[in-house]
């Protein structure tokens, strides 16, 4: 086993040890310190791949799992996987460090927390390094489950459970759709490996399942990455502890969908449906998230919506970048691959500044006891370091210099401006929408970033509204956000170091068909006075104006009716489905046995008659029938008369006796058809059964003794007639179609083979003795059952007599 | 000729059974019904005997004996039931 696999499975292995650490050592040392080394090791280990990947090399490892089914844990390390791997382990280290100070070791169930977190980390790493598409799916669902567990970490709170359930339902819905899409991909490409799919992309694009697979896979990506309209789970996932929100719901898990879109771009991109779905949904999400973020009063909810919006931005850039596949190696192709580059760049930037912002909000929550903007204010002088980090993060998010968000935002504007001039896929008409929506959304982004910083940290300090005595956070809690903040600033000043070593290899992985020329993707903070710069200036100016007049227009949001929100729709549809299923179930599960018998018989008739009619089964061959004797007719008439008596009699005892008579008639049939053993047995059994019936009759409770005739019901009549007709037709048709010779000639040699003159008995105990043995056991079980029932009944009666 | 005789006797037996059944259905008291059923059993024995002759087989002789025993036991059981209102008494 390669050392890479040890690293890959390290989180899972360590998750097993965590409970012991918690139980025996947690009182002295916070369990988090032991967990901290896991992501750190992974991070340091992954660093050694940077030079390899930067040179354009990749690494591939195979760990056999189910080789006979071709399911192996194949891992593939390229630029994209490595970027995600570094993000996951790097941010993971910082988040665990932060959580050591954030979560109390006395009050919290830390073993649960770190097990879930390690599980998530391992799943996420497996997801980004998997080359086998089904293994990728397995890790994908594992991230859903561990995210569910983490959101519901404080399971005694109702909101946590609600949020966890919501996120699980939505992401698993998408995950299952994605699995269907994956299976179609496997069918189309006839391989499990993503790289081989990319190699045979021609077969996939021309296949009839292409569009279906595309939509299904995107459904998975959109639900996971909280794209419109599946974004509703993310704000509710904010019930999780803040380290979880920082890690899962800003930096890593919600980027799994982005990862998937980027990973599958070489397969699907180049088609109009992919472009419009990815770019269109992305830009709508961008607008929706930024629009809704403004009205939030809870800091974490604001960050959740901003995450939605930023993910939409990355998604739309990926969509725009997919045009590069369409244009190929041309000037336009290079132009649009810059959009993909911007997507990867912003993806990285977002992880840094959003992680730090969540941590900042967590600190504010931890030190003041509230996250409500309306109760906060004036924290700048109390918490100067936190304030500085918040400014860095928020200004970067707003796209201001000198932070890394500025660079990627400029590249984003360049991308949407280019797409307006692309002139394909109907962009001639609608292309202009992209820059307009993007610009408006950026203005909103600017406004909520300002709200985040200035409503929280400036203004009047009102300690009387806060429950705790406010002071600066402990240093340990500040380390992680400071590191992230430093990265935010450093990336602005030295973007090309990052670009050369990580982003360009990642770009090469997303667009393997392009010749990536490193000099085309040189990031520079200043590239002359152009349209993008003017757009940014416009964002700042309009944004400041809007922020200043915020009080005037933010109330407009309140007029937006709750009934039209997606949350309302989700709740209603959930309740509606529940109600609907309950109604349906109550409707047919009436508890009446007669009703169920009607279903069973009706189904039986429909199935048999249906197949008779569709398969032309009405072919009767009467040539093999034996001649009918007079006695046969007499007994048949007797049976029919007796059956009618059973149906129409008003006395139970008559019905019982007549049933007995039918049994004796059948026994006479056996006589007529020369089956003495059967006749014998039938006679005895019929007698015993009739006696048992009489026993039951005698013990009927007095109240209901005089129930009259069976009441007439049309449904029952129809069903019973149809049933009888079906069985008769079936028997008649089956008799005429004997395909093979009967095997009874074999048993005719019973005397030679078994020394028995009675052929029936020879079959029962010699040729087919197994059946007899099992029927003996059936009788034994029935006898024991009756015994137990009677004994228990009498015991219960005794008990009830005693209690009286 | 022989067959005709057998056939006629079968018809007569059937008629007897029918008449007995009429008594079973109508019979005012339980004792009437039980008597009639007992006689149905005996008629069945007779008719199976005639069938055996018709089919030239001895295979049904067991059945005839069985019906004889069953109708005997059945009648005794019913008689006990009418007299003591239980068929099998419990040990005290």
The domain boundary, picked from A698, A723, A739, lies at A739
Residues A732 and A752 reside in one and the same domain = no
Note whether B51 contacts A671, CB cutoff 8 Å: yes
Q: Residues A441, A408: one domain?
A: yes
**What does the domain layout of chain B look like in residue ranges?**
11-84
Q: Is the previous residue joined to A269 through a cis bond, with omega within 30 degrees of 0?
A: no
* Partner residue facing B62 (CB), from A661, A664, A680: A680
Please confirm whether the linkage preceding A229 is cis (ω < 30° from 0): yes
Q: Please list every residue in chain A whose beta carbon sits closer than 8 Å to the beta carbon of residue B44.
A: 664, 668
Same domain, A313 and A461: yes
Strand partners, A77: A59
Give the best residue of A675, A680, A682, A794 to mutate against chain B (max B CB count within 10 A).
A680
Same domain, A598 and A585: no
Q: If you count residue pairs, one on A and one on B, with CB atoms under 8 Å apart, how many are there?
A: 36
Give the length of chain B.
Answer: 92
User: Which residues of chain A lie closer than 8 angstroms to B14, CB-CB?
Assistant: 634
Chain A residues lying within 8 Å of B9, measured CB to CB = none
User: Which chain A residues touch B64 with a CB distance below 8 Å?
Assistant: none
Show which of A519, A548, A577 is a domain's final residue: A548
- Residues A179, A256 within the same domain: yes
Residues 6+ apart with CB under 8 A from A96: A32, A35, A36, A39, A114, A117, A243
Do A172 and A141 meet the contact criterion of CB atoms below 8 Å apart?
Answer: yes
Contact between A357 and A303 (Cβ < 8 Å): yes
A516 and A577 both lie in a single domain: no
Give pLDDT, residue A519.
Answer: 67
Alpha carbon distance B24, A654 (integer Å): 9
Q: Which chain A residues are Cβ-neighbours of B60 within 8 angstroms?
A: 671, 676, 679
Return the beta strands (E) in chain B as ranges. Answer: none
Residues of A in Cβ contact (< 8 Å) with B66? 680, 683-684
Instruction: Name the residue facing A679 among B14, B24, B60 (closest C-beta).
Output: B60
Q: Is the dihedral of CA A148, A152, A155, A158 positive or negative?
A: negative
SS3 A96: helix
* Cβ-based neighbours of A690, under 8 Å, separated by 6 or more: A656, A657, A659, A660, A663
Give yes or no: residues A108 and A49 share one domain.
yes
Beta carbons of B59 and A676 less than 8 Å apart: yes
- Domain boundary (A739, A762, A789) is at A739
Question: Residue A729 corresponds to which tokens in the numbers above?
Answer: 């037709």
Domain count, chain A: 4
Both A578 and A601 in one domain: the answer is no
Q: What residues in chain A have per-residue pLDDT under 50? A: none
- ipTM, 2 decimals? 0.85
Given an 8 Å threshold on Cβ–Cβ distance, is B51 in contact with A672?
yes
Assess whether A412 and A512 both reside in one domain. Answer: yes
Beta bridge partners of A59: A77
Residue A42 to residues A46, A49, A85, A418, Cα–Cα distance (Å): 6, 11, 9, 39
Instruction: Check if the beta carbon of residue A143 is closer than 8 Å to that of residue A253.
Output: yes
| Among A109, A100, A102, A51, CA closest to A77 | A51
What is the reported pLDDT for A706? 55
Question: Are the C-beta atoms of A270 and A278 separated by less than 8 Å?
Answer: no
Q: Which of B14, B59, B70 sits opposite A683 (nearest CB)?
A: B70
Burial class (CB in 10 A: 0-12, 13-18, 19+), A749: exposed
Residues A337 and A383 in one domain: yes
The two most distant CA atoms of chain B are separated, in Å, by 62
Question: In chain A, which residues have their Cβ closer than 8 Å to the Cβ of B70?
Answer: 683-684, 687
Is there a single domain that holds both residue A51 and residue A65? Answer: yes
Q: Distance of alpha carbon A292 from its chain centroid, rounded? A: 26
- DSSP assignment of A366-430 equals HHHS--BGGG----TTT-HHHHHHHHHHHHHHHT-TTSHHHHHHHHHHHHHHHHHT---TTHHHH
H-helix or E-strand containing A64? strand A59-66
Distance from CA of A771 to the nearest CA of B (A): 25
Residue the block writes with tokens 């990926």: A318
Do the chains contact at B55 and A654, CB–CB below 8 Å?
A: no
The candidate with the shortest Cα–Cα distance to A243, out of A345, A125, A366, A368, is: A366
Structure tokens at A219: 């459904």
> What are the beta bridge partners of residue A298?
A372
Task: Find all residues with CB under 8 Å of A435, minimum gap 6, and list them.
Answer: A413, A416, A417, A419, A420, A535
Contact B59 A654 (CB under 8 A): no
Mark yes or no for CB contact A671/B48 under 8 Å. Answer: yes
Are A793 and A682 in the same domain?
no
Note the residue count of chain A: 804
Chain B interface residues (partner A, CB cutoff 8 A): 10, 14, 21, 24-25, 44, 48, 51, 55, 57, 59-60, 62-63, 66-67, 70, 74, 77
Q: Report the CATH number that the domain containing residue A648 is assigned in CATH.
A: 1.20.120
Dihedral angle over CA of A580, A586, A588, A590, nearest 10: 180
How do residues A639-695 score in pLDDT, each as one tens digit? Answer: 898 888 888 777 777 788 888 888 888 988 888 888 888 988 998 998 888 888 877
Question: pTM value?
Answer: 0.81
Query: Residue A764 CB: number of other CB atoms within 10 A?
Result: 16
Nearest to A676 among B21, B44, B60 (CB): B60
- C-alpha A505/C-alpha A503 separation (Å) is 6
What single DSSP character describes residue A193?
A: B
* Nearest residue to A227 via CA among A167, A285, A305, A170: A285
Angstroms from B14 CA to nearest CA on chain A: 9
Q: What is d(CA A155, CA A163) in angstroms, rounded to the nearest whole number?
A: 11
Spatial distance between the Cα atoms of A524 and A540, rounded to a whole number of angstroms: 20
| Structural domain boundaries enclosing A215 | 3-548
pLDDT for position A701: 67
- Chain A CB contacts of B21 under 8 Å are 661
- The residue among A470, A296, A468, A458 whose CA lies nearest residue A377 is A458
Contact (Cβ atoms closer than 8 angstroms) between residue A314 and residue A343: yes
Backbone angles phi, psi at A61, to 5 degrees: -130, 150
Tokens standing for A20? 């012991």
């Amino acid at each position: 086993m390669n050392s890479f696999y040890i690293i890959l499975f390290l989180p899972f292995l360590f998750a097993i040890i965590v409970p012991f650490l918690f139980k025996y050592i947690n009182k002295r040392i916070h369990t988090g310190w032991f967990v901290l080394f896991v992501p750190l090791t992974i991070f340091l280990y992954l660093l050694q791949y940077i030079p390899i990947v930067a040179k354009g090399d990749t690494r591939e490892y195979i760990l056999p799992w189910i080789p006979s089914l071709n399911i192996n844990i194949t891992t593939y390390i390229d630029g994209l996987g490595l970027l995600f791997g570094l993000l996951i382990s790097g941010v993971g280290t910082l988040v665990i460090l932060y959580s050591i100070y954030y979560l109390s070791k006395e009050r919290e169930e830390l073993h649960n927390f770190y097990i879930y977190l390690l599980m998530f980390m391992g799943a996420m790493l497996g997801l980004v390094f998997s080359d086998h598409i089904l293994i990728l799916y397995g890790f994908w669902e594992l991230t859903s489950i561990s995210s569910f567990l983490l959101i519901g970490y404080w399971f005694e709170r109702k909101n946590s459970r609600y949020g966890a359930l919501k996120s699980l339902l939505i992401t698993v819905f998408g995950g299952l759709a994605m699995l269907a899409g994956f299976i179609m991909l496997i069918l189309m490409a006839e391989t499990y490996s993503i790289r081989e799919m990319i190699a045979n992309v021609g077969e996939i694009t021309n296949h009839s399942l292409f569009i279906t697979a595309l939509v299904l896979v995107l459904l998975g990506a959109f639900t996971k990455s909280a794209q419109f309209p599946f974004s509703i789970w993310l704000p509710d996932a904010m019930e999780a502890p803040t380290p979880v929100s920082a890690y899962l719901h800003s930096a890593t898990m919600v980027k799994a969908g982005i990862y998937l879109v980027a990973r599958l771009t070489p397969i699907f991109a180049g088609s109009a449906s992919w472009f419009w779905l990815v770019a269109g949904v992305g830009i709508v999400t961008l607008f929706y998230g930024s629009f809704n973020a403004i009205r939030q009063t809870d800091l974490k909810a604001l960050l959740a919506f901003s995450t939605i919006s930023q993910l939409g931005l990355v998604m739309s850039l990926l969509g725009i970048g997919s045009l590069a596949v369409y244009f190929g190696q041309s000037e336009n192709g290079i132009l649009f691959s810059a959009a993909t580059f911007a997507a990867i760049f912003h993806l990285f930037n977002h992880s840094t500044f959003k992680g730090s912002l969540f941590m900042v909000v967590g600190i504010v929550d931890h030190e003041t006891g509230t996250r409500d903007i309306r109760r906060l204010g004036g924290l700048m002088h109390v918490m100067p370091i936190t304030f500085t980090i918040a400014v860095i993060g928020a200004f970067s998010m707003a796209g201001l210099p000198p932070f890394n968000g500025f660079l990627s935002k400029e590249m984003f504007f360049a991308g949407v401006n280019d797409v307006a001039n692309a002139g394909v896929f109907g962009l001639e008409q609608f292309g202009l929408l992209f820059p307009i929506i993007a610009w408006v959304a950026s203005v909103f982004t600017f406004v909520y970033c300002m709200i985040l910083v200035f409503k929280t940290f400036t203004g009047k300090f009102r300690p009387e509204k806060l429950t705790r005595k406010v002071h600066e956070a402990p240093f340990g809690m500040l380390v992680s956000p400071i590191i992230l903040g430093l990265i935010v600033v450093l990336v602005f000043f030295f973007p090309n170091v990052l670009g050369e070593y990580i982003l360009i290899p990642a770009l090469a992985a997303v667009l393997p068909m392009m010749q990536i020329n490193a000099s085309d993707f040189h990031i520079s903070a200043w590239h002359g006075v152009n349209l993008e710069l003017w757009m940014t200036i416009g964002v700042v100016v309009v944004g400041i104006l809007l922020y200043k007049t915020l009080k005037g227009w933010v109330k407009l949001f309140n007029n937006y009716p709750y009934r039209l929100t997606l949350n309302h729709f989700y709740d209603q549809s959930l309740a509606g489905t529940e109600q609907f299923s309950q109604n349906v179930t109550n409707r047919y599960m009436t508890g009446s046995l007669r009703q169920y018998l009607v279903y069973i018989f009706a189904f039986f008739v429909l199935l048999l008659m249906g197949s008779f009619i569709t398969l032309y089964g009405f072919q009767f061959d009467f040539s093999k029938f034996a001649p009918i004797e007079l006695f046969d007719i007499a007994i048949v008439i007797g049976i029919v008369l007796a059956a009618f008596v059973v149906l129409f009699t008003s006395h139970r005892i008559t019905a019982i006796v007549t049933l007995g008579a039918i049994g004796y008639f059948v026994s006479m049939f056996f006589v007529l058809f020369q089956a003495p053993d059967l006749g014998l047995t039938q006679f005895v059994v019929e007698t015993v059964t009739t006696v048992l019936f009489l026993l039951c009759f005698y013990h009927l409770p007095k109240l209901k003794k005089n129930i009259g005739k069976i009441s007439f019901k049309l449904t029952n009549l129809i069903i019973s007639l149809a049933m009888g007709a079906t069985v008769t037709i079936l028997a008649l048709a089956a008799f005429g179609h004997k395909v093979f010779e009967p095997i009874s000639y074999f048993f005719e040699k019973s005397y030679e083979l078994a020394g028995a003159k009675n052929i029936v008995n020879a079959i029962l105990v010699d040729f087919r003795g197994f059946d007899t043995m099992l029927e003996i056991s059936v009788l034994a079980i029935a006898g024991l059952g009756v015994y137990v029932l009677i004994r228990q009944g009498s015991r219960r009666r005794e008990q009830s007599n005693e209690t009286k | 000729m022989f067959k005709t005789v057998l056939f006629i006797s079968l018809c007569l037996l059937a008629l007897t059974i029918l008449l007995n059944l009429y008594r079973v259905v109508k019979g005012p008291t339980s004792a009437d019904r039980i008597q009639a059923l007992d006689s149905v059993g005996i008629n069945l024995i007779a008719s199976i005997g005639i069938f055996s002759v018709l089919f030239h087989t001895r295979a049904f002789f067991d059945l005839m004996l069985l019906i004889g025993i069953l109708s005997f036991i059945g009648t005794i059981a019913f008689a006990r039931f009418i007299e003591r209102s239980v068929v099998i008494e419990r040990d005290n």
